[in-house]
Amino acid sequence: MRTDSKNGIYKRFAVMGGTFDPIHYGHLVTAEAVRDKFKLDKVLFMPTKNPPHKMHRPTSDVNHRYLMTVLATITNPYFEVSRLEIERSGMTYTVDTIRELRSIHGDDAEIYFITGADAILEILTWHNVDELLGMCRFVAATRPGFYGKDMEQKLTEIKSKYDKEIFSIEVPSLAISSTDIRDRILNNKTIRYLLPEAVEHYIRKSRLYLK
Ligand code: ATP
Ligand code: MG
């Protein structure tokens, strides 16, 4: 492990926000690829409390999602799970999270915000997007079926409108999604090798996603 992250203060780190309902290898491979590419001190996994854009489906209890994220990241010394959003009261917005991280880690910290390509496509609808783009570097991870003309156009649009570069990173073709994993469980299909074994054990033990 690098030793330049003293006292829990990081100068180059990424934030990977998500519902993680459940966390899977798509998230983990992406986080590790970004960590390696930008030589980061840490990747902070940030389970969201009640994401405004996911109101149509009730998410699992935040404690379950938090614990699954801890189990999934335990073997990687560069990965850490943050309770920042979970513990904030009221609606949670990414911009508030980044602002808070900046006040903890300092104005000189380089903060990367990792999103999947699908999430980048929604970025312009996010709360305080101007401020957000000014505060951190965005990394869009591409997964099969999401990178195409739409995506390219959107990145160009963001770049010209906000004069802000969005990095993109290709991750090995991981078409894994939490939605698919939940469907598989409901339909009694295997989820083995789509997510860490400990997370599968946790899901079975807590009887998650059965209805
Ligand atoms: P759901 O199917 O419930 O939407 P999800 O698999 O997309 O879940 P989220 O928790 O919504 O997972 O995702 C958190 C972040 O990880 C988002 O930025 C999303 O775009 C990204 N992401 C999700 N799956 C992958 C994947 N297979 N490869 C790369 N990035 C991913
Ligand atoms: Mg998603």
Take residue 28 and report the two structure tokens written for it: 């983990």
User: If you measure from the C-alpha of residue 123 to the centroid of ligand 2, how many angstroms do you get, rounded to a whole number?
Assistant: 13
**pLDDT < 50 regions, the chain:** 1-4
Sequence ranges of the domains in the chain: 10-175
Ligand 1 atom closest to 177 (CA): 6
pTM of the model as a whole: 0.91
- Convert the pLDDT of each residue in 22-43 to its tens digit: 999 999 999 999 999 999 999 9
Q: Is 32 in the pocket of ligand 1 (CB under 6 A)?
A: no
Q: How far is the CA of 35 from the centre of ligand 2 (A)?
A: 21
The topology (CATH level 3) of 10-175 is Rossmann fold (3.40.50)
Q: How far apart are CA 79 and CA 121, in angstroms?
A: 26
Q: Is 123 in the pocket of ligand 1 (CB under 6 A)?
A: no
Is residue 43 within 6 Å of ligand 1 at its C-beta?
Answer: no
Q: What per-residue confidence (pLDDT) applies to 164?
A: 81
**How far apart are the CA of 160 and the centre of ligand 2, in A?**
26
Question: Is the CB–ligand 1 distance for residue 30 below 6 Å?
Answer: yes
CA of 7 to the centre of ligand 1 (A): 30
Q: Does 119 sit in the ligand 1 pocket, CB within 6 Å?
A: yes
What pLDDT is recorded for position 146?
Answer: 61
Q: Is any atom of ligand 1 closer than 6 Å to the C-beta of 174?
A: yes
Q: Is the CB of 81 under 6 A from ligand 1?
A: no
Give the CA distances from residue 190 to residues 46, 82, 203, 209, in Å, rounded to whole numbers and listed in that order: 27, 30, 13, 13
Closest CA to 135 of 54, 9, 19, 15: 15
Task: State the angle between helix axes of 62-73 and 25-37 in degrees (0 to 180), rounded to the nearest 10.
Answer: 50
Q: Closest ligand 1 atom, CA of 175?
A: 27
Kindly report the protein residue whose alpha carbon is nearest to atom 18 of ligand 1.
115
The predicted pLDDT at position 5 comes to 58
